Amino acid sequence: MKKFFSVNDVHDLKKLVLKAKDIKASPFSDKQLGENKTLGLIFLNPSLRTRLSTQKAGLNLGMQVMVMNMGQEGWALETRDGIAMDGNTVEHIREAAGVIGQYCDVVGFRSFPSLKNRDEDYSEELFNKFMEFCKVPMISLESATRHPLQSFADLLTIEEHKTVKKPKVVLTWAPHVKALPQAVPNSFAEWMNRAEKEEMIDFCITHPEGYELAEEFTKDSEIIYNQEEAIKDADFVYVKNWSSYRDYGKVISTDSKWMIQPDQLSKSTKVMHCLPVRRDVELASSILDGPQSLVQAEAGNRLWAAQTVLTEILSS
Ligand code: AN0
Ligand code: CP
């Protein structure tokens, strides 16, 4: 594996999940693999789970790990070519990424979308340029349109907790006070579509009208506008807010009826969320604190997803 940006970088999905289970069962069996190798984790935006789990994954493999909150502590980055840098940006991505690539053997990079210009965000210019100029294998720590380490951890969590061969997985929109990226639901849909193709799950999506995600991620997934109908009989309900893709970056509804109530769930339904979660806005605290919640299991699995991806990159 030379990069981990989307599910398309995964050759064999089932094998990758099995590998993650093996690594989870025996986390230190490859602790020589990363000897004398450096992992750089570059954040343009905040993070708790991604930062700590990916750092720990590198340490478990014997890597040296450097973390930089570039958004706060780095020079203001320019990405455009052909302009005189006489404004607020101080350093061009060509120089910055080139320098970081010399110090690291693998680079993880987080950059959220602007949510202002859809074409720019969906071109993934920032991630792609960084990769072009740093010249070492790169891992997405959440880019403008995807969060593959999260989706991988989510699939692992589903595989571990399923009680039927082909569980029903439902992605549901939830209310939020702010405009959030589509990266997590895009990526989840992309991974679940692949898992559905491999007969691992059944997948559908529910959201208010106007919150349709880009078809390149949802493909021909069923979209059900009635949440109650969609989540009925679900084995896993994946809760996430996102802003509109069509009316790009806008919050077009904050309808609190879309926050699932415990009595809407059947007893066997498990509830997932990538975190951070706004309690009693996106998800009822009684669900989060109850036995149906898998949020801690998902966050725990972020470590094994990251360690599996690093193992694949280091051994290729
Ligand atoms: C981010 C998002 O929705 O993409 C990160 C989630 C992992 N969430 C927030 O900004 C609250
Ligand atoms: N789920 C997730 O990526 O969390 P952080 O934004 O805290 O890294």
| Nearest-ligand number for the alpha carbon of 240 | 1
- Answer yes or no: are the C-beta atoms of 15 and 300 closer than 8 Å: no
Q: Which fold has domain 148-299?
A: Rossmann fold (3.40.50)
User: Options 3.40.50.1370, 3.30.1490.20, 3.40.50.1580, 3.40.50.11540; which CATH number does 3-146+301-315 get?
Assistant: 3.40.50.1370
Q: Where are the domains of the chain?
A: 3-146+301-315, 148-299
Instruction: Decide: 184 in ligand 1 pocket, CB within 6 A.
Output: yes
Contacts of 103 (CB under 8 A, 6+ apart): 38, 40, 66
What tens digit of pLDDT does each residue of 69-111 get? 999 999 999 999 999 999 999 999 999 999 999 999 999 999 9
Average pLDDT, the chain: 98
Render pLDDT for 18-52 as a digit per residue (tens, 0 to 9): 999 999 999 999 999 999 999 999 999 999 999 99
- Give the distance (Å) from ligand 2 centre to CA of residue 142: 9
Most distant pair of Cα atoms in the chain: their distance: 61
pLDDT in tens, 251-297: 999 999 999 999 999 999 999 999 999 999 999 999 999 999 999 99
**Euclidean distance between CA atoms 257 and 164, whole angstroms:** 30
Query: Residue 202 C-alpha to ligand 1 middle, in angstroms?
Result: 25
pTM: 0.98
